[in-house]
């Protein structure tokens, strides 16, 4: 069962189902009504079913009424080039700026899917924030009472360290240069703090991992956290997930991640690793960014600049697209160590295949060298997936071990899939 999402009731269908718009802007849906008294304009908690959105059900009325025919009413707090920020009962919300004139202080209505609806008045109305909804609208974990809710929300937040007990540098095949440079960048300041101070080199800086997807960037960051800290000192920020559309929310999340990492590092007296995956989505070039993104970059830079006071935190950013990152982030003193992750060579491909099949019964017929030769240009992640596919084929065929032939079938299927994907991309491009 999911934790529940907040939605606004727009209509009640003839069969009693509710037609709702999700407050997080993820669209509208028809959900079955398991509440006693949901009415149009109420906010309900919807439990999602994994199988199909059509089975989602409203289980609780979280707030009665207060909205204008299913729309949210709010007061414009700021007008940006492309968006406007609106204060509503549910906190600050950002929607695309419409063509018509909008000024700060206008009272406007927005639709449940968070698009501009209409100007209601050029004067502001009074908005009373609902603290419980303000928090939950973001994290969406509703307990039975307020305190539970607050606590659960905190526990579920993005900022819990991930357990990475099993990943070590030895598991990462190849990439020796990356390992050496990473170790040097982090170990020197740890081992020789006085010397670093003497040479005016204090303060932690960030390390940027760049290279094609699936080349072990995340894996290496986890191994690093394990190597230097405890197994729960790895804080993972998914770039695209943190770029929330709620006004001010992304900045708060970034602050909280750094705060949580700092606490962990202090508690354990060992460094914590903050890993930002797809960092290009968090800090795109400011000249190409919109208002929201510019604010996020600014928050991020201020966190990086404050690192000296933050205890032992190693910040690692990963990207496939190094050139789209804001140059200010790559400046010395911030992310001034850049480490390239390249695709594995033939020998490394063979070792990656071996490592990922080490817990599988493998027939002596399997020639890893031969498979490695046939997988030029493949990433570690691709190779891991081919091992799994070959294993599945062996299981399907009721074989006691995986055979070379299974790998060959898996390779063929993989190639077919790749070709189909390439074809699709080509078609989409042609249509555009």
Site membership for ligand ADP, residue 391 (CB under 6 A): no
- Residue from 4, 70, 74, 216 touching ligand ADP (CB under 6 A): that is 216
**What angle in degrees, to the nearest 10, is found between the helix axes of 291-305 and 249-268?**
20
Q: Which of 98, 143, 203, 213 binds ligand ADP (CB under 6 A)?
A: 213
Q: Is 340 in the site for ligand ADP (CB under 6 A)?
A: no
Interacting stretch for ligand ADP, rule CB under 6 A, among 22-30, 71-79, 267-275, 377-385? 377-385
Q: SS3 of 427, please?
A: helix
- Our finding on whether 380 is near ligand ADP (CB under 6 A) is yes
Site for ligand ADP in 7-66 (CB under 6 A): none
From the list 92, 301, 360, 381, which residue makes contact with ligand ADP (rule: CB under 6 A)?
381
The residue within the footprint of ligand ADP, chosen from 73, 109, 175, 182 (CB under 6 A), is 175
Minimum CB separation of residue 185 from ligand ADP in Å reads 18
If you ran DSSP here, which 8-state letter would residue 125 be given?
P
Among 18, 86, 93, 172, binds ligand ADP (CB under 6 A): 172
CB of 376 to ligand ADP, least distance (A): 16
Number of chain positions touching ligand ADP (CB under 6 A): 19
Contact stretch for ligand ADP (CB under 6 A) within 77-85, 90-98, 210-218, 266-274? 210-218
Q: Which residue is nearest to ligand ADP (CB)?
A: 380
Q: CB within 8 A of 358, min separation 6: which ones?
A: none
- Is residue 82 classed as helix, strand or coil in its secondary structure? coil
Give the Cα separation of 411 and 364 in Å (integer).
19
Between CA 376 and CA 348 the distance in angstroms is: 11
**DSSP state string for 355-404:** HHTTTS-B-TT--HHHHHHTTTT--HHHHHHHHHHHHHHHHHTT-SSB-H
173 binds ligand ADP (CB under 6 A): yes
Q: Cα separation of 143 and 149, whole Å?
A: 4
Task: Indicate the residue among 44 and 219 with the shorter CB distance to ligand ADP.
Answer: 219
111, 91 Cβ separation under 8 angstroms: no
Q: Which is nearer to ligand ADP, 283 or 387 (CB)?
A: 387
Q: How far apart are CA 323 and CA 88, in angstroms?
A: 38
Beta strands at 18-22 and 28-33: parallel, antiparallel or unpaired: antiparallel
Using CB under 6 A as the binding rule, whether residue 218 contacts ligand ADP is answered as: yes
- The yes or no reply on residue 339 touching ligand ADP (CB under 6 A) is no
Residue 162 contacts ligand ADP per CB under 6 A: no
CB of 342 to ligand ADP, least distance (A): 10
Residue 384 within binding range of ligand ADP, rule CB under 6 A: yes
Stretch of 3-11, 83-91, 166-174, 282-290 contacting ligand ADP, by CB under 6 A: 166-174
Three-state secondary structure call for residue 138: helix
Give 55-61 contacts, CB < 8 A, sequence gap 24+: 56/29, 56/31, 56/32, 57/31, 57/32, 57/33, 58/7, 58/9, 58/18, 58/20, 58/31, 58/32, 58/33, 58/34, 59/4, 59/34, 59/35, 60/4, 60/35, 60/142, 61/35, 61/36, 61/37
- Which part of the chain contacts ligand ADP (CB under 6 A), choosing from 62-70, 211-219, 282-290, 399-407? 211-219
Cβ atoms 109, 73 nearer than 8 A: yes
Shortest reach from residue 13's CB to ligand ADP, in Å: 44
Instruction: Write the DSSP symbol of residue 307.
Output: G
299 binds ligand ADP (CB under 6 A): no
CB of 356 to ligand ADP, least distance (A): 6
Of 23-31, 45-53, 207-215, 402-410, which part binds ligand ADP (CB under 6 A)? 207-215
Integer Cα distance of 396 and 64 in angstroms: 54
Helix (H) or strand (E) holding 93: strand 91-96
Region of 132-140, 194-202, 213-221, 256-264 interacting with ligand ADP (CB under 6 A): 213-221
- Residue 389 touches ligand ADP, criterion: CB under 6 A: no
β-pairing, 335-340 vs 206-210, is parallel
The first and second tokens of residue 63, run together, are: 């707030």
In angstroms, give the least distance from the CB of 274 to ligand ADP: 15
List interacting residues with ligand ADP (CB under 6 A): 172-175, 213-219, 318, 341, 344, 352, 355, 380-381, 384
């Amino acid at each position: 069962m999911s934790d529940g999402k907040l939605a606004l009731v727009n209509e009640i269908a003839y069969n009693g189902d509710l037609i709702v718009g999700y407050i997080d802007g993820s669209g509208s849906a028809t959900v079955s009504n398991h509440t006693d008294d949901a009415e149009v304009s109420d906010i309900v908690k919807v439990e999602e079913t994994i199988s199909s959105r059509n089975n989602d059900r409203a289980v609780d009325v979280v707030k009665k009424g207060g909205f204008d025919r299913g729309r949210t009413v709010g007061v414009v707090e700021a007008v940006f080039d492309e968006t406007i920020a609106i204060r509503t009962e549910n906190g600050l919300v950002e929607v695309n700026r419409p063509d018509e004139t909008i000024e700060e202080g206008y009272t406007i209505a927005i639709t449940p899917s968070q698009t501009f609806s209409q100007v209601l008045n050029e004067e502001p109305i009074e908005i009373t924030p609902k603290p419980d909804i303000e928090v939950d609208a973001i994290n969406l974990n509703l307990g039975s009472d307020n305190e539970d809710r607050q606590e659960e929300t905190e526990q579920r937040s993005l900022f819990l360290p991930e357990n990475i007990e099993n990943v070590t540098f030895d598991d990462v095949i190849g990439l020796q240069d990356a390992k050496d440079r990473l170790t040097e960048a982090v170990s020197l300041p740890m081992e020789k703090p006085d010397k670093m101070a003497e040479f005016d080199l204090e303060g932690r800086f960030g390390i940027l991992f760049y290279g094609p997807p699936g080349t072990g960037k995340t894996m290496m960051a986890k191994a690093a956290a394990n190597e230097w800290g405890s197994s729960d000192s790895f804080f993972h920020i998914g770039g695209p997930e943190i770029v929330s559309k709620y006004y001010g929310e992304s900045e708060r999340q970034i602050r909280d991640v750094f705060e949580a990492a700092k606490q962990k590092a202090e508690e354990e007296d060992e460094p914590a690793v903050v890993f930002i995956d797809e960092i290009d989505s968090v800090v795109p070039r400011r000249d190409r960014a919109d208002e929201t993104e510019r604010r996020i970059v600014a928050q991020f830079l201020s966190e990086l600049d404050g690192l000296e006071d933050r205890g032992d935190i190693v910040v690692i950013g990963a990207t496939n697209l190094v050139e789209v990152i804001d140059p200010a982030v790559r400046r010395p003193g911030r992310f001034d160590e850049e480490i390239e992750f390249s695709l594995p060579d033939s020998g490394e491909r063979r070792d990656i295949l071996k490592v990922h099949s080490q817990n599988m019964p493998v027939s002596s017929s399997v020639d890893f060298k031969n498979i490695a030769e046939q997988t030029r240009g493949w990433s570690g992640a691709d190779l891991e997936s081919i091992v799994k596919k070959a294993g599945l084929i062996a299981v399907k065929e009721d074989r006691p071990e995986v055979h070379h032939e299974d790998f060959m079938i898996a390779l063929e299927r993989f190639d077919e899939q790749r070709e189909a994907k390439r074809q699709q991309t080509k078609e989409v491009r042609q249509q555009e």
